[in-house]
Amino acid sequence: MSDKVLMKGNEAIAEAAIRAGCRHYFGYPITPQTELAAYMSKRMPKIGGVFLQAESEIAAINMVYGVAGTGKRVMTSSSSPGVSLKQEGISYIAGSDLPALIVNVERGGPGLGGIQPSQSDYFQAVKGGGHGDYHLIVLTPASVQEMADLTGLAFDLADKYRMPAMLLADGTTGQMMEPVQLPETEPVSVEKPWAITGTGMKRKHNIINSLYLQPEELERTNFERFQRYAQVEENEVRYESFLTEDADIVVVAFGIAARVSKNAVLAARKAGVRAGLIRPITVWPFPKKQLEALSHTAKGFLSVELSMGQMIEDVRLSIHDKRPVRLCNRAGGMIPSPDEVLAAILKMQEEV
């Protein structure tokens, strides 16, 4: 037997976060991510960590803001309506250049919506759900293994670039169990000279702040921050390319939609259609260059999403609308079957 264990995606995130050195978790229960908080509530007290169920999502994200200022690895998790509540705090964390991890195990919306899986918070995650100019590094796991692996990566990237990172998952990946090999390595510790850890009477005070009343100064912080974002876009794009080399139809999908799409791509190949799949693992930064390159060889693109069509805008922008881009989608907690995606691929093949 391998050293793999069966775990729910939500639990894999929690365990991976602990192994990445996270000792501070603040949250508030909501389906379908509650197992994450439950896992933390059991484990954190045993390892000298903090688990705190806050009075609200807003309180939880502001506790995250506080711990992030001390340079400690810290996280919160929620599902769509709860993540909406956190947006003000996320903007403050971004505006204060602090690393933190926010997990969104998405469910259908808008409003209270439902509790079934969805990807309709894409705009919120990628385009900035809070106010002001900022980005999150947004990672999209498609398996329980990736729930674990990308959690560690999210902490590392957040530290490296001093910005919040988000794990954008969905109800399916949160609830499903798959074998997972948990990371064994010790987390890399990063120097954080900016952290508020006490001066020891040896240095000047560090100040964590997002308020700049002088517009020149605020403009400067924005430009500096976007220079860092440019580095992230240059260095941190991650994606999986599956059978795209000779593909006429390139399917673009992330998370659970990519799992379904992979089955459909294989079925299309069997039916004699050259289909391929680009699975963005980071949706910010988005694999723009890779899609642009494929627009020279592919005849059409198909965005498969659990939303009314959000990522499709980034697909169109990436390829400058040089090829037709169609949408294959379900919403409200529904998931397309491989047959539905296959039908969309075959239809597109006829049209282009």
Please, which of residues 25-64 interact with another protein by CB under 8 A? 31-32
Binding test (CB under 8 A) with another protein, winner from 101, 260, 306, 311: 260
CB 116 within 8 A of CB 91: no
Closest CA to 194 of 77, 72, 328: 72
What's the min distance (Å) between Cβ of 271 and another protein?
Answer: 16
For another protein, the closer of residues 54 and 176 by Cβ is 176
Between CA 73 and CA 158 the distance in angstroms is 9
H-run or E-run covering 280: strand 275-280
Please, which of residues 286-325 interact with another protein by CB under 8 A? none
Q: How far is CA 4 from the centre of its chain?
A: 24
- 262: contact with another protein by CB under 8 A: yes
> At a CB cut-off of 8 Å and minimum separation 6, what does 25 contact?
14, 17, 37, 40, 44, 49, 50, 51, 52, 74, 75, 76, 77
Maximum alpha-carbon separation in the chain? 73
What's the min distance (Å) between Cβ of 335 and another protein?
Answer: 6
Between CA 230 and CA 227 the distance in angstroms is 5
Q: How many CB atoms lie within 10 A of CB 266?
A: 16
What's the min distance (Å) between Cβ of 305 and another protein?
Answer: 15
Length of the chain: 352
For another protein, the closer of residues 56 and 337 by Cβ is 337
- 124: contact with another protein by CB under 8 A: no
Q: For the window 207-246, what string marks contact with another protein as x by the rule CB under 8 A?
A: ----------------------------------------
* Residue in this structure with the two tokens 């498609």, named with its chain if needed: 142
> At a CB cut-off of 8 Å and minimum separation 6, what does 317 contact?
288
The answer to whether the Cα torsion of 105, 109, 115, 119 is positive or negative is: negative
Binding test (CB under 8 A) with another protein, winner from 81, 324, 332, 338: 338
Stretch that binds another protein, among 70-78, 244-252, 333-341, 342-350 (CB under 8 A): 333-341
Between CA 299 and CA 304 the distance in angstroms is 17
Between CA 305 and CA 315 the distance in angstroms is 12
Binding test (CB under 8 A) with another protein, winner from 88, 178, 236, 313: 178
Closest CA to 9 of 33, 40, 42, 45: 33
Cα angle 187, 192, 194; round to 5: 155
What's the min distance (Å) between Cβ of 155 and another protein?
Answer: 26
Between CA 278 and CA 337 the distance in angstroms is 18
Stretch that binds another protein, among 44-52, 174-182, 297-305, 319-327 (CB under 8 A): 174-182
- 181: contact with another protein by CB under 8 A: no
Binding test (CB under 8 A) with another protein, winner from 72, 160, 259, 326: 259
What's the min distance (Å) between Cβ of 114 and another protein?
Answer: 8
- 1: contact with another protein by CB under 8 A: yes
- 4: contact with another protein by CB under 8 A: yes
For another protein, the closer of residues 189 and 337 by Cβ is 337
Between CA 317 and CA 347 the distance in angstroms is 23
Between CA 258 and CA 256 the distance in angstroms is 5
- 335: contact with another protein by CB under 8 A: yes
For another protein, the closer of residues 256 and 346 by Cβ is 256
Q: For the window 144-163, what string marks contact with another protein as x by the rule CB under 8 A?
A: --------------------
The encoded tokens of residue 6 equal 């069966």
Binding test (CB under 8 A) with another protein, winner from 62, 91, 151, 172: 172
Please, which of residues 63-122 interact with another protein by CB under 8 A? 115-116
Stretch that binds another protein, among 121-129, 222-230, 305-313, 336-344 (CB under 8 A): 336-344
Residues that bind another protein (CB under 8 A): 1-2, 4, 6, 31-32, 115-116, 171-172, 175-179, 256, 259-260, 262-263, 266, 335, 337-339
